[in-house]
Structure 1
């Protein structure tokens, strides 16, 4: 009974099994053996079939190796060649146009003098070096600017308004000659006050007797004091 059931099951499985498709079908051959036989015939006809020893001659490995080497060399040459763009060849590398000075270039210095000569030059420069010791500052020259300021503020008369008697013939021409010796009216007024003015008239600098030498004007000092 068990044997009958087993046989029935095997028969059912065999009926349900999907048939394996023929790999040679659909390419013009009834089976793969026919395709292989036809392909072998084509290889033999073209001289690429089996050799005398029965082995397939295959591809020429030496020819492949030579072609591969040539392709590699061509690729390396293309990589080493400078690339070009649509605007033209690649710009040349920018070099340092300024460079370094001859004193910092060993090759330039060595062509001009030897190491011994260079050492002698350094020693000569050290010998010529002079250290200047500091000295005391010079004294500031004194000025009587304060004197003329004080005098300007102590007076009220204007230029040309006589306060002092000056009865000297040719006083105007003498004053013109002597006033020309001073760079400015302020310096003339300083000298005038230091040497007895305004009561006296040293060098005839105040011919009109207003107390102001060489047309010196006290107005700016008076105006500054009022501000």
Structure 2
């Protein structure tokens, strides 16, 4: 029973030791203006036009520093005395050389002799379901079983065209005779070129 209060006390001590200390919010913020020479040197170094490897900001000699009027506050309630504070300037990066490359024609794809699914879609204009080719013994059940063998409708259409489609349908995957196997739809290919 005495172990629980000791464990609680130790864990509170550990948490107190681990907690970050709160900074003193009563500190005064000092801002010193930067001389025009130091600003020019910094800009030259940032743009890569000087031989100096480091960038330094030097305060203007004899200027009065800017002091925050409210402890811990920087921004809206800050008053400045003496010279103007340092200004942030926009630095333009140096120009980069651009190499002009001559345009070359796109290489042609080798022809395999097999019908192209995309080419077939673009060569046809009739909608899905419109009977264009005669089919003997069309069966929707047979077509559903045959279409289930293909991973996608594009593969089914490619196999259909390679087997003599759209005129012949030996696999029975185009029972309505529209020339489109399974649920393949050529419209997405047609829309791509519009």
The TM-score with structure 1 as length reference comes to 0.35
More helix by share: 1
Which of the two has higher C-alpha Rg? Answer: 1
Where relative contact order (Cα < 8 A, 6+ residues apart) is larger, the structure is 2
